Structure 1
C-alpha cells in the first residue's frame, strides 16, 4: 500500500537566516562558488579581509540551503558542505536553516536537483525580473516524507552514488590501460618521419553570408574530442570565412592545441563549421589511417610534441601554426601495421564508449532516482 506524503511550503521547514558580520582585514576567509544547474557548492577561493570591499558579509553553516539571488533560476542553489562551514557570502545570497526535526538537509539537497523543483524556481512570475527574493524561496513546495523515509531515500541514493563513483574510477583505469596498450603497439614497429609525410593541410573554406546560419563545433582540451555548439549567424561574426568540417578531418585548435585540443571529425559532425582559428588536415591515402590518427592525437604522449611546437606560457603561448605542426618528428608504423592495430582496438571500442556515452549521464541519474522514489508515494495537497 502506498504511503501518503503531504506537500509543504519550504517556509514550513526552513528559516531564513539574515545575520551579517563585519569583515576584518587581517583575517582569511573562504568564499563558495554556487554551481549552476543544481550541481552543488564548491570552494571558490581563500581571500584576506583586506581584499573584500563589502565589509558586511553573511556566514554559511554546514547544511544550510544556499540560494544565489541572481542565478537561482539557472539552478544556482544547494546544500553547504562541511568543507565550507563558516564560508562567507554577500547579501546577494540567501541562507536557510532546516528544521531538522522535519526535514533532513541532504534530502532537500537531492530534491532540489529534480526537474519538478527546478521548474518552480525557473517559472516566470508577473514580471520578467531575473532575480528572486528570499520570500520566493519560502513559497516553493516539496513533498515531505517522514524522517525515517527521508533517511531511507538518502541511504538508497548514497549507495547508488558510491557505485557510480566506483564506476567512474573504473572508467579512468580503463582509459589509462587502453592508452598504454596503444602506446605499446605503436612503439613496437615503425620509423621516424615528419607529420607532414602522413597528413596534409586541407581546408574547405566557406565564405560567410549575412543571411545564413552556421552550426558550430568546438574542440575540448586534453583529448576530450569535438562537440556541437549553437549556430552563428553571418551577422554575428567578424570572420570572413569558416572552415567546413568533413569526415575524418583532423581538427586542430591553434590556440589550445598544445593542451590536447585536437580531434578527428566523426561523420555526425561532418558539414558543421569551425572558425579559422581551427585548422583541418587530412590523412594521405595508404600512408596514414584516420582511425589510427584518432588514437594518436588523443594520447597524452602526443601532446608534448604540440607543446614543443610552440613557445611561451599561458595567454602568451604561441599558436600552433600548420607549418610547425607538420614539421613534428613522429614515430609511425607502416600503413598495414596501423590497420592491424586499429583492428585490435576496434574490439575494445565498446568499452571506450562507456566514457563518451554512459558516464556523462551519471549525475542525471541521481535526481531521476529521487523522482522515482517520490512517484512511489501518493501525495496530498498543502
Structure 2
C-alpha cells in the first residue's frame, strides 16, 4: 500500500468561534459528546433564560471535542440535526479549511479510531483528574492523509459496513423486544391486581469499603437502557477522590443514581462479585420471601420499568435529579407472588439460550467497526 503523506491537523482545521446571542425566550439544544467515538448528541433542550455561562454555537460538519475527555474518545463531527446548537467553552469546535483536501466524512471516521485517541492523549496534559487537551498541541499533531478520492472510497466502505451493523442490531432488537413483550404479558397476568412497593420486596443493602491509597479497586459500570453491568479498569486509591466504594455481591440490583431514569439498572452476575462501584451506584437485595433476583433482573431491563423510574425521578431530560433510594423503593407496581415469579422465569428460561446467542452475535457485530478502523488507520500507516 502506498504511504500516505503526513499532515498537521492545523493545516486542515481552524478554530470555530461563532458567538451566540442567547434569547431568553428561545430553547436551544446543548451538545455533549459520548466517549469512545460513540457520537455527538444533544444533552437536551435548555431555555435561554436558564443559560448562565457563555456559550458558543456549532455548525454541522464541524469537528468538536471535549477538552477533558478527548483522551477518552470524546470527539466527533457535529451532525446536521445539531446545526445551531450551543456548547460550553469546554467543547472547542473546528471547521475545515479546505474540503478538497480533507473530506469531513473521512475525518469523522478517523477520529473514532484508537490511534487518533492516542494522538489526543499525546496532546493532553495536567495532573490526575485535571488532564485537558491543549488546542495548540492538538493542532500540531500529524495524521496520515490519503488523497481525496481514496478518502471518499474509505468513507463509502465504512458507511456500508456501519449500515450492515445497524441492520443486524435492529434485527436482534426486534427479536428481543418480542421476548420483553412476552415477559410483560406474563408479569401482568400473574400479578393480576396485586400491587407492591419496591420497598416491600427489596432492601437497600450496601457493602461500603473505605478507600486506602495503596490498594487497587477493580471497577464496574452500568450501561443505560438495560445494557447491563460491565467491568472497567481498576483504579488505585490515589487516583480517586471518593472516600469509599460499594463492593458488589452476586444478585445485587445495582442502580445508577445519575442515569437510573434511562434504564441504568442491572443484576450483578457472579463473575462481577467483589468488584467495586462508586457511591453513585446503590445496591439492593431481594427479600427472599418476596422476590426472585433473576426475575427482577429481567423485569428491570424493560422500557416499561424504565418509565416507572422516569416518573419517580424529578426534572426534565438530562436535567433530571438523581434517583435516590427512597424514590426508587417508593415505586408502586403490579407484582406477582414469589411462586409466580419463578413460574414466569422458568417459562422465560427457554429463551435464555437464544438471548445468549444474540449476545455473542451482537458483541461480534459491534466489534466490526472498531477492528476495521484499527486496521485502516493504524498508527504506523505510511
Shift of 1:365: 3.8
Aligned twin of 2:159: 158
1:350 aligns with 2:352: no
SS class of match (2:4) = strand
Corresponding position of 1:279: 284
2:336 is paired with a residue of what secondary structure? strand
Residue 368 (structure 2) pairs with residue 372 (structure 1): no
Alignment of 1:145-294 (within 5 A): 145-186=146-187, 208=210, 215=218, 217=220, 223-228=226-231, 230=234, 245-250=248-253, 262-272=265-275, 277-281=282-286, 283-284=288-289, 290-294=293-297
Shift of 1:295: 2.6
Check the 8 A contact 1:72/1:132 in 2, yes or no. Answer: no
Question: Helix, strand or coil for the counterpart of 2:177?
Answer: helix
Q: 1:125 & 1:324 partners in 2: Cα distance?
A: 45
After superposition, give the CA deviation of every residue in 1:107-151 in whole Å (9 maximum; x if it has no partner).
1121122222222221168987844134x3442222222222111
* 1:42 paired to 2:47: no
State the TM-score, normalized to the length of structure 2: 0.69
Deviation at 1:306, TM superposition (A): 7.5
Q: Which residue of 1 aligns with 2:301?
A: 298
Task: Give the SS at the match of 1:100.
Answer: coil
Query: Which residue matches 1:101?
Result: 100
Residues 177/99 of structure 1: CA separation in 2 closer, same or farther (3 Å cut):
same
Residue 32 of structure 1 contacts residue 89 of structure 1 at CA under 8 Å; is this kept in 2?
yes
Output the CA distance in 2 between the equivalents of 1:255 and 1:126. 28
Measured in 1, the distance between the counterparts of 2:118 and 2:237 equals: 30
Instruction: Tell me: CA distance 1:33–1:296, structure 2 relative to 1, closer, same or farther (3 Å).
Output: closer
TM-score, with structure 1 as normaliser: 0.69
RMSD: 5.0
Q: Distance in 2 between matches of 1:102 and 1:88?
A: 28
Q: Is contact 1:206-1:244 (8 Å) kept?
A: yes
Q: Closer, same or farther in 2 for the Cα pair 1:184/1:98, shift >3 Å?
A: same
Whole-angstrom distance in 2 between the partners of 1:85 and 1:37:
22
How many angstroms does 1:328 deviate by? 6.8
Q: Is the 8 A contact 1:111 1:367 kept in 2?
A: no
Distance 1:40 1:121 in 2: 16
Q: Does the 8 A contact of 1:214 with 1:233 survive in 2?
A: yes
Identify which of 71, 83, 86 aligns with 2:81.
83
Distance, in Å, in 2 between the alignment partners of 1:305 and 1:91 is 35
Distance change >3 Å, CA 187–CA 213, structure 1 → 2: same
Q: Which residue of 1 aligns with 2:63?
A: 65
Moved more, 335-344 or 164-173: 335-344
CA shift at 1:255, angstroms? Answer: 9.2
Per the alignment, residue 135 of structure 2 pairs with 133
- The structure number with the bigger radius of gyration is 1
Partner of 2:114: 115
Which residues of structure 2 form unaligned runs of 5+?
none
Matched-pair contact (CA < 8 Å) for 2:206–2:283 = no
Moved more, 110-119 or 120-129: 120-129
Aligned pair in 2 of structure 1 residues 188, 167: CA closer, same or farther (>3 Å)? same
- Determine helix, strand or coil for the equivalent of 1:62: coil
Structure 1 spans left out of the alignment, 5+ residues? none
SS of the aligned residue for 2:160 comes to helix
Instruction: Verify the 8 A CA contact 1:69 1:132 in the aligned structure 2.
Output: yes
Q: Is the 8 A contact 2:187 2:335 kept in 1?
A: no
Partners in 1 of 2:211 and 2:48 — Cα distance? 51
Q: Take 2:88 and 2:202, find their aligned partners in 1: how far apart are those partners?
A: 54
Partner of 1:348, secondary structure, is helix
Q: Distance in 2 between matches of 1:114 and 1:66?
A: 15
